[in-house]
Chain A
Amino acid sequence: MNNILISIEEANDLIDSGKNLLFAGYENVLKQLHKGSWIGGTTPYFVAQNGGELNTEKVFVTEIPDYISNIDIQMMDEENISSIFTQAPKIGFVVLILPTGSNVHLKYALEAPEFQDFATRPIMGWTSAVAADELGKINAKVINGLDCKLVDNKAVIMNITLPEGMYADLGIVNIFEQGDGTVFKFEEDGFSAKNVIVDGKKVNMANYMRENKIGTAMPLVADYYGASINVTLKDIGKEQVTFYAPVFKGIEYRIAKPINNYEEEFKKQIPETMNNIFYSCNCFMNYVLGNLEGKKTANITGMITFGEIAYQLLNQTLVYLSIKSST
Chain B
Amino acid sequence: MRVPDKTDKKWENAISDKSDYQLKFLATKILLGRLRLTYQNEENSESLKKNACELHDFFEKNQHVPAAMEDLQQIIGG
Contacts and interface: CB of A to CB of B under 8 A. Distances in A.
Contacts of B66: 326
Interface in B6-57: 20-23, 26-34, 37, 40-41, 57
Nearest to A319: B26
A227 interface: yes
A97 to B, nearest CB: 20
Contact of B34 (A113, A121, A171, A172): A113
B65 interface: yes
A313 to B, nearest CB: 12
B29 A227 contact: yes
B26 A170 contact: yes
Nearest to B22: A226
A120 interface: yes
Interface in A203-226: 222, 224-226
B40 A250 contact: yes
A55 B45 CA distance: 55
A248 interface: yes
- The interface size bin for chain A is 20 to 34
A105 to B, nearest CB: 19
Given A118-B34, A249-B41, A250-B37, A90 B61 contact: yes
Given A225-B20, A225-B21, A225-B23, A311 B64 contact: no
- The interface size bin for chain B is 20 to 34
B30 A229 contact: yes
B16 to A, nearest CB: 15
Given A167-B64, A169-B67, A224 B27 contact: no
Contact of B30 (A90, A119, A169): A119
Interface string A223-251: 01111010000000000000000001111
Given A225-B21, A249-B41, A119 B27 contact: yes
B62 interface: yes
Contacts of A172: 26
Contact of B37 (A90, A171, A248): A248
A62 to B, nearest CB: 20
A215 to B, nearest CB: 27
Given A250-B40, A250-B41, A251-B37, A225 B28 contact: yes
A91 B31 contact: no
A311 B26 contact: yes
Contacts of A169: 65, 67
A91 B29 contact: no
Contacts of A118: 31, 34
Interface in A244-295: 248-251
Given A225-B23, A225-B32, A249-B41, 20 more contacts: A113-B30, A113-B34, A117-B61, A118-B34, A120-B58, A120-B62, A169-B67, A224-B29, A224-B32, A224-B33, A225-B20, A226-B23, A227-B26, A227-B29, A227-B33, A229-B30, A250-B40, A251-B37, A326-B65, A326-B66
Interface of B: 20-23, 26-34, 37, 40-41, 57-58, 61-62, 64-67
6 contacts: A117-B57, A167-B65, A222-B33, A226-B29, A227-B33, A326-B64
Interface of A: 90-91, 113, 117-122, 165, 167, 169-172, 222, 224-227, 229, 248-251, 310-312, 326
